Copies of this chain bind each other. A is one copy, B any other.
Amino acid sequence: MGRHTLEYPKTKTNTVRRKSDRATYALEAIHSLINASPLLNVAFNTPDSSPFPTILPMIGHMGSFDRPSADLGDPLDLYLHGYVSSRMMNLARSSSSSSSSPQGVEQQQQQQQQQQQQGLPVCISASHVDALILATSPFSHSYNYRSATLFGHASLVTDDAEKLYAMQLITDGVVPGRWRASRQPPSPAEMQSTSILRVSISSGSAKLRDGGVHDDKHDLEDEDAQGTVWTGVLPVFSRIGDPIPTSYNKVDTPVNITDFVRDYNRQNEEYVLAAAKK
């Protein structure tokens, strides 16, 4: 409503070079794709002698502890779920450790900012394949897809209230309303055994392809090829099947789950079919 659409600034790190007309830097588009992905790919470097970055599939969600009512187009942090003992948590812990000497509020704030910059540098990627595009020439084949990338610094969340906020955010990101619909409150042991990483986002980008087959002119005019090669789109979508209750479940399938399954299936299929016709 008259508000500017916020975009991540284009830098050397996040600028899409190949087919840049398919790129967007809008926060809302990028954050939506991250939230719609059941798994995020998180890449980081380890301080050992390995030349390879490592990718871990993780569960996460965009949010703002300081302003929980922020919407998807606002600057947000990414919260990632993990285990206390995991390698990545240890790296994030060691790269954001600080002295515990007494200090004033201003110093604390400065230190917090430094910690965010000092966190573990990570790249996060989420992709959805929406269609296989089968063209006349194998070289004109493509996918319809939506893909988002974020760059930022990951730090361990140490504040209990922020940790609880993030746990609810991530659980409700899997199935809306699931946190309150499951056993509450968490036990102290549960709180201790789970770690949360907050990724302070530096930049990001998204890229998508929609539409149908784009054949080269000479292929369209090639009567022999057009008489023998099937061309078209194979739509691909993720579906959730009928809920399978445990043997000991005593509760009717709640409306938040039936609504979620129906919306998930309808929205995925509608998007994919509409994108194929663009």
Using a CB–CB cutoff of 8 Å, the interface residues on chain A facing chain B are 12-13, 17-18, 38-39, 41, 43-45, 48, 50-57, 59, 83, 85-87, 121-125, 127, 129, 132, 134-139, 141, 143, 145, 147, 149, 151, 167, 171, 174-175, 178-179, 181-183, 186, 190, 193-194, 202, 212-213, 215, 219-220, 222, 225-246, 248-254, 257, 261, 269, 272-273, 276-277
Contact = CB atoms under 8 A, between A and B. Distances in A.
A122 B239 CA distance: 31
A121 to B, nearest CB: 4
A253 B232 CA distance: 9
Given A129-B38, A239-B237, A240-B236, A136 B183 contact: yes
Identical chains in the assembly: 2
Most interface-central of A122, A151, A231 (chain B CB within 10 A): A231
Given A43-B54, A213-B246, 6 more contacts: A55-B123, A57-B145, A57-B147, A136-B182, A231-B246, A234-B240
Contacts of A251: 227-231
Most interface-central of A41, A175, A190, A235 (chain B CB within 10 A): A41
A205 to B, nearest CB: 11
A179 to B, nearest CB: 6
Contacts of A52: 13, 121-123, 151, 202
A230 B254 contact: yes
Which applies to chain A's interface (DSSP): helix, strand, loop or mixed? mixed
A182 B220 contact: no
B50 A53 contact: no
A126 B226 CA distance: 35
Given A48-B12, A147-B57, A244 B235 contact: yes
Given A38-B143, A175-B132, A43 B18 contact: no
17 contacts: A18-B85, A18-B86, A39-B127, A41-B43, A41-B125, A45-B45, A51-B121, A52-B121, A53-B121, A57-B127, A137-B186, A141-B174, A181-B230, A230-B243, A232-B245, A236-B241, A238-B238
B50 A44 contact: no
A182 B137 contact: yes
A22 B95 CA distance: 29
Most interface-central of A18, A55, A252 (chain B CB within 10 A): A55
Given A57-B147, A123-B52, A190-B137, A241 B231 contact: no
Contact of A257 (B83, B141, B234, B249): B234
Contacts of A276: 244
